[in-house]
Chains A and B, each alone.
Chain A
Amino acid sequence: MPRYILKRLALSLVTLWLLVTIVFVMVTLLPSDIARNILGNTAPEASVIAFREEFGLTDPWLVRYGRLMKSLVTFDFGTSWSTKRPVGGMIWGPLYRSSKLAGLALLITTPISIGAGLIAARFRDTKLDRGIVLVGLATASIPDFVTGALLAVIFGVKLKWFQSVATIPEGTSALGQLDYLFLPALAMAIVYFGYIARMMRSGTIRSLESDYTRTATMKGLTGSQVLRRHALRNSLAPTLTVISVQIGFLFGGIVGVEVVYNYPGLSQVILNAVKDLDLPVLQIAVTIIGGIYMLTTLLADIVIAWLNPRARLELGQ
């Protein structure tokens, strides 16, 4: 097991390196005048040249790539090209805010989706099951910003239950923040409901059809006992994988929700960095998002192994 984890971690590092390199190649080798782009068309030529000098944009690409690799190892990504502030300071605040939103979304969506998936599987092929499947299909296919916009219209503008903009004033209490965060979190939760409920349903159906479930039923356990004691544990594995993948995507994956609600999260930073081709900010954002994605998927695999001895055997090999 430890060997497996180490191997996976090493592979993740390779993938991260590839990721950073891909972004570097895209930004550096495509013909774009970064200095001109950031300073604007009206900036005098002298200041454009000074800008290029300051950030070493005139150096050969190999030198710049070397600098990037160094920053990757020391995790010091230098200063942003567009704001000239240290990149670290620009990223941690938004990352914290995005995590808060994503955490709230997961808190809402996980129990509801797992419950809905279980119910759908338990009452398979009934009207209830069809309804859950249909709702899941619909919610997962509607773009996040559309769900977010519709929720803002209904609960923010029409009913006025919650704030339709998530720019939280300084010094708001935790409970007061909920007023601002609830709608965007709900929008994210709705998007992920479909994925998680669907996985849970099919996982549960698979385990309900297996031999050990039949044995349990023949032993005289009731339907819900079988579900709780035998099927649940096994159907959680694929669901966990899906949840972990979604956690990875919660950061930056749902740019739309953060934009709709004007939430100062990671998405805003990324959008600005992309617009300015601000490579240092882009690189740290990509590293963090990719890193979170890889860590959560690895974590999920470990938990699955812990849940299911058979998977543990497979991992050991």
Chain B
Amino acid sequence: MTSPLIELAGIRKSYGTGTEVEVEVLHGIDLALHAGEFAALIGPSGSGKSTLLNLIGLLEPPTAGSYRLLGQETSALSDDAITALRGNAIGFVFQFHHLLPAFTATENVLLPRLIAAGPVTAPQRESARDLLREVGLGDRLDYLPRKLSGGQQQRVAIARSLALGSPLVLADEPTGNLDTHSADGIFALMRRFNRERGTAFLIVTHDPRLAQRCDRIIELVDGRISSDRVNEVSLVTT
């Protein structure tokens, strides 16, 4: 087997370290995710799902333990190195879509490239528009986010998470805010990119129906992984 995309060993996370109200949210997480996986992260509220996702996304550092991303140990990296690694390796889809309101759909998709490589060329712009056409927004390319529906905004967010061809997309309740129909569409879209491009997805969700459609289901309870299983059903149904 190839080396994993991410590899967590004994990851712990506490808040309020050094104060009287120190709380440990994650109590030693061991987890590996390989290229092309399509995994759900489930668990009750307050089980530490979002915290774990933030750690994997390098948005905050663990209190203890080792985290290797693309084979690189991250604990010793500087803030700038972590930022660069995050930009290249990980795409994000948040629950509240989090597009930049002052930028059009196309510009939002172009932002990661603008950050990574400076001024955008015409072919790059065209490929961003192609990506938006792929997610079904060919007629909304130059709309500002506020002119788009929730589902459409989330499609832009997915296109943005794929803009740099990152091997891993982290999605935090990507359908949490959408009606069933839109949610199914978003989910199908992620599934399609997973199949077509081999992008790995780690999806935090509350929705057992959607979790059942993932290849792997990781369950977090009280800051510990309580179960981690391959979901045979999804291979048949989706």
Interaction A to B:
no
A interface residue numbers (CB < 8 A to B): none
